[in-house]
Structure 1
Amino acid sequence: MSTPPEHSLEIHRTIARQHAQRGELDAAEKSFLSLLDRQPQDVEALTFVADRQSARGEHAAAIQRLRIAVQVQRAEPAVWVQLASAQLAMGDFAAAATNFQCALSLAPRMFVARLQLGIALEQLGQSHEALKAYFMAIESARALGRWLDDATTAPALRHLVKYAVNYVNAGRHDLFRRALDPLRERYGSTELTRVERSLAIYFFEQPANIPDPRQKPKFLYFPDIASQPYYPRKHFPWLETLEAATATVRDELRAVLAEGSLEAFLGNTPAPTGQGMLRSSSDQEPAWDAYFFYRHGERYDEHCARCPQTTALLDALPLVRIRDHAPETLFSVLSPGTHILPHTGVTNTRLVTHLPLIVPPDCAIRVGGVEHVWQEGRCVTFDDTYEHEAWNRSEQTRVVLILDSWHPDLSEVERAAVTDLVEAIGDFNQSCEIPVAPN
């Protein structure tokens, strides 16, 4: 009795795999070629033989086989990567870039493939797209503990990874410095000296030399300006106008609270507890809620319309205004028993002001180790790059109006420069966000 065809195929496959496992690659290739004689679209055989052909420099033959393989398994990213890698080796950079992108659309966190995409794009003269590809590859790898140093980088990739890191550092530095060119041309380099130093610190080209070790900005440190947890009122003449409107603002707040239209400050996920951002001193879940007028620079039109007098007041103040970043203005609502654990802010270029509206007993904020007890209608301004925390140990709700304003030591030119710089950094980072893989 003859052997069924499907059994014959599996015999060839088994023999080929056994040869491959023993390192007998020529014999394995021969067995897979025999399998392909019977089943020309077998992806395992196609990719193995193509890999052997690429190793011999027979890239055209490998590409021919891999084109068949991707038609059979279009949803398999590894096959697209193998095809693109062969095209890259052959110098067909346009085809390689297209097929690396196909692979990454299926598996966005394949950082080696994205590194190779960067090579193809650079060879095509698409320097900015190459910059993004290299940056995304490095960030993806480092998020998994890879490419941090030689020990976490495969030997075969070390030279290329170092090249990509240098390319990214130079490219981002040039991109962000060019964002300041219009102001540099208009006002001269001297006016931007501190901004240039801030950028150098951002790139770890200069030490920050922060005078107060309690200050720990997470994003952008601006040098040679005052550093202190709390700031005296004399720097902010507009505080009196804000405080004079306390009763009006509180009336609009009470209407908002009655509607129950708040959202969790920390997002839609359940408030983190334990080692997270919030703790509770009672049996109730901790809650830090918000009613935003602006968040990350985005205006909440419905909320602004609901509180017209508060909005008019805020719109008249010298708030930080940076596209997609600032201002951030809101009613901050801290539920009974809730403790916001110590944390630090992103930059010392801006300061945070609280207008306390509803303050029961046993509520306070601590900034840089210095405790402050809110007083209704009396503003407090602080630098949130100092470690700070807040708590409500009462059985009632605490509410403050929060807003951010420029650090008073920044000149108008420096404020404009920080705005342009942060927008440039933000735009680049947003363009490099890793998409979510399809289901």
Structure 2
Amino acid sequence: MQTDALVERANAAFRTGNLKHALELLEDAAQHRPDDPTLWLQIAAMHRASGNPSDALTAVHKGLAVAPLDFMGLLMRASLLQRMEDPQAGEAWGHALAQKPSGELPPQLAATVAEGERHHAAWLEARESRLARAMAGPEQRGNEEERARIARFRSNALRKTRPFHSEPTHFHFPGLVEREFHPRHLFPWLSELEGAADMIRQEFKAVMAAERAELVPYIQYDDHLPLDQWRQLNRNPDWTAIHLWQNGVRIEANANHCRETLDLLRRVPQPSTKGSGPNAMFSLLAPHTHIPAHVGVTNTRLVCHLPLIVPEGCWFRAGAETRAWRPGEAFVFDDTIEHEAMNPSDELRVVFIFDIWHPDLSEVEREAVAALLALETGGAAL
């Protein structure tokens, strides 16, 4: 008998309440078509309706052996394990939820998913508590940087965060430490920069008031170039910049109003590379503007932010860590790791931004980088 006919007879038997015969017919059909995960899920549903969760789980596993990422199979597996009070149920819900399709689910399925989310959250919380207790001793003995890394290690293990890596669009120098945000102790000049925040803010206001100041879109490139990460902000006035240095060129119309700021930058290890650095600017983000996730051009440099004017709710994310900008509190991050930003307020947000050498680069390596970039960039924006 053809497989489809067996399935039809099984469905008819199920509608009359003859579960035993329905199961026999479906299992016969599965012998003819063992690579059909839908059949195995039907068999599992029959076993579950018959009050045999263990047999149902065996059938689900046969279906998942054919289609390991099938959402319905993973969902049924998690539901069965929870019903059986199996300790693997929490993790199984996580596997199922990871494959949840986008869009609205049918009401009954949505209810099952909501229950799974509750169970998985409770399992995750209990697991996190166990891990935190096990790691408490060394974590308490660590310094601030060590504690942060230990906490992130735990978060990654729990799949609450994931690893992010340096993925520059153009130039990757091997062997450099990858950090979303780099520790302050590597940059002793940060305190002096923060102490000058009021002065830098006043010079920003002076250049904004100047008649000849040059305020330009932050992102500007030819439409035909393969840079889709910037498409919605290309030449968009919602994200603008007042450049003091741009790709190694001093922008005199702006720089003349910011002499103390530029004097301060002379004490900072900025890249001096023909056609690409240094760079320093005031970044202006309009109200209700989102800077989408993107990555920078080269990992040989890092980027420093000194927030100057920050309305409530503005945030910045690099990798898995999201920070609120705070006026006068600087930080250094790797812009070749995925990052994004948002100004959800009704007011303008202003951050002073400049680049610095990656501290892992030796003087010889910096010379080599500068030579390559001078030849390759031709003045292209970095």
TM-score by length of 1: 0.45
Distance 1:409 1:318, change over 3 A: same
Amino acid at match of 2:351: V
- Is the Cα contact below 8 Å between 1:354 and 1:403 reproduced in 2? yes
For the residues of structure 2 that align with 1:379 and 1:366, how far apart are their CA atoms? 14
- Deviation, 1:259, is 4.0
Unaligned runs of 5+ in 2: 1-161
For the residues of structure 1 that align with 2:237 and 2:202, how far apart are their CA atoms? 25
Distance 1:239 1:275, change over 3 A: closer
- Is the Cα contact below 8 Å between 1:286 and 1:338 reproduced in 2? no
Match of 2:333 among 356, 359, 382: 382
Amino acid at match of 1:365: F
Match of 1:264 among 189, 210, 217: 217
Aligned-partner SS, 1:276: helix
Q: For residue 292 of structure 2, what is the aligned residue in structure 1?
A: 341
In the TM superposition, what whole-angstrom CA distance separates every residue of 1:104-133 from its partner, at most 9, and x where no partner exists? xxxxxxxxxxxxxxxxxxxxxxxxxxxxxx
- Deviation, 1:274, is 11
In the TM superposition, what whole-angstrom CA distance separates every residue of 1:250-294 from its partner, at most 9, and x where no partner exists? 111122233474221123999x99983449xxxxx8601111011
What does residue range 31-180 of structure 1 map to in structure 2 within 5 Å? none
In the TM superposition, what whole-angstrom CA distance separates every residue of 1:395-437 from its partner, at most 9, and x where no partner exists? 111101100001111111111111112112235x98xxxxxxx
For the residues of structure 1 that align with 2:244 and 2:253, how far apart are their CA atoms? 9
Matched, 1:325 2:276: yes
- Deviation, 1:368, is 1.0
Match of 2:198 among 233, 239, 247: 247
- Is the Cα contact below 8 Å between 1:278 and 1:339 reproduced in 2? no
- Is the Cα contact below 8 Å between 2:219 and 2:230 reproduced in 1? no
Q: For residue 267 of structure 2, what is the aligned residue in structure 1?
A: 316
- Is the Cα contact below 8 Å between 2:310 and 2:326 reproduced in 1? yes
Q: For residue 287 of structure 1, what is the aligned residue in structure 2?
A: 238
Matched, 1:422 2:377: no
Aligned-partner SS, 1:402: strand
Aligned-partner SS, 2:375: helix
Q: For residue 216 of structure 1, what is the aligned residue in structure 2?
A: 167
Aligned-partner SS, 1:423: helix
Match of 1:395 among 315, 332, 346: 346
Aligned-partner SS, 1:321: coil
Instruction: Count residues in correspondence.
Output: 213
Aligned-partner SS, 1:403: strand
Distance 1:366 1:213, change over 3 A: closer
In the TM superposition, what whole-angstrom CA distance separates every residue of 1:177-205 from its partner, at most 9, and x where no partner exists? xxxxxxxxxxxxxxxxxxxxxxxxxxxxx
- Is the Cα contact below 8 Å between 1:364 and 1:371 reproduced in 2? yes
Q: For residue 303 of structure 1, what is the aligned residue in structure 2?
A: 254
What does residue range 366-381 of structure 1 map to in structure 2 within 5 Å? 366-381=317-332
Aligned-partner SS, 1:399: strand
Unaligned runs of 5+ in 1: 1-210, 280-284, 431-439
Amino acid at match of 2:218: F
- Deviation, 1:213, is 5.0
- Deviation, 1:310, is 1.2
Distance 1:213 1:267, change over 3 A: closer
Q: For residue 276 of structure 1, what is the aligned residue in structure 2?
A: 231
- Is the Cα contact below 8 Å between 1:222 and 1:349 reproduced in 2? yes
Distance 1:216 1:396, change over 3 A: same
For the residues of structure 2 that align with 1:425 and 1:269, how far apart are their CA atoms? 18
Once the two structures are overlaid, the 10-residue window that deviates more, 211-220 or 333-342, is 211-220
- Deviation, 1:372, is 1.2
**Structure 1 vs Structure 2: percent identity of aligned residues?**
40
Cα RMSD between the aligned structures?
2.8
Amino acid at match of 1:328: N
- Is the Cα contact below 8 Å between 2:302 and 2:358 reproduced in 1? yes
Runs of 4+ in 1 over 3 A off after TM superposition: 211-214, 258-261, 267-270, 272-275
For the residues of structure 1 that align with 2:219 and 2:230, how far apart are their CA atoms? 15
- Is the Cα contact below 8 Å between 2:248 and 2:276 reproduced in 1? yes
In the TM superposition, what whole-angstrom CA distance separates every residue of 1:41-96 from its partner, at most 9, and x where no partner exists? xxxxxxxxxxxxxxxxxxxxxxxxxxxxxxxxxxxxxxxxxxxxxxxxxxxxxxxx
